[in-house]
Amino acid sequence: MNREKVVFAFFILLALTLNFGFFIGDIDDPAHHNTYELFAAIVVNLIATVLKFGDRTHLGAVLLATSLVADLQLLAAATVWGWAAYVSPAGYDVDAVVAVVSLSGGALLANVVSVVLLVAETMTVRR
C-alpha cells in the first residue's frame, strides 16, 4: 500500500466531508452552520491543495483546479462571514448566512468533482 496515496485520498475525502458538514442544514439558520467547521474545511482544503501540487499529469492539473476553486469559494465565505460579523452595520443577518452557505455549496461541488476524479483515477490504475 502506498502511504502517500492514502494521505492524499484522506485529505481529499476529509475536505469533502467537512465542507458537507458545514453546508448541510437550513440555509438561513446560523445555528446550523458552525464557524469552526468552516475553519476546519478551509484548513483541510488548503492542505489538500498543497498535496496536489506534485502531480504533473493532466488529471493532476484538473484535481488542482478543483481544489483551487474550493479554496477560493471557502475563503470568500469566510471573508463574507468576517465582514458581516465585524464590519457590517447589519451584522451577521440572514442575508449574510445565505451568502456564506451558498459559497460553501460551490466549494462542496468542487470537492465532489475532485472525489469523483479521484475514484475514476483509482478505478483505472492497473496493478
Model confidence pLDDT, tens digit, residues 64-76: 999 999 999 999 9
pLDDT value, residue 127: 60
Q: Which domain holds residue 53?
A: 3-124
Q: Give the model confidence (pLDDT) of 31-44 as tens digits.
A: 899 999 999 999 99
pTM for this entry: 0.92
Q: Is the pLDDT of residue 1 over 80?
A: no
C-alpha cell at 112: 465532489
Structurally, the chain folds into a number of domains equal to 1
Short-list 57, 66, 97, 62, CA closest to 80: 97
Q: Is the pLDDT of residue 126 over 80?
A: no
Percent of the chain beyond pLDDT 70?
Answer: 98
Alpha-carbon distances of 9 from 99, 114, 121, rounded to whole Å: 29, 10, 11
Q: Which residue has the higher pLDDT, 56 or 13?
A: 13
pLDDT value, residue 43: 97
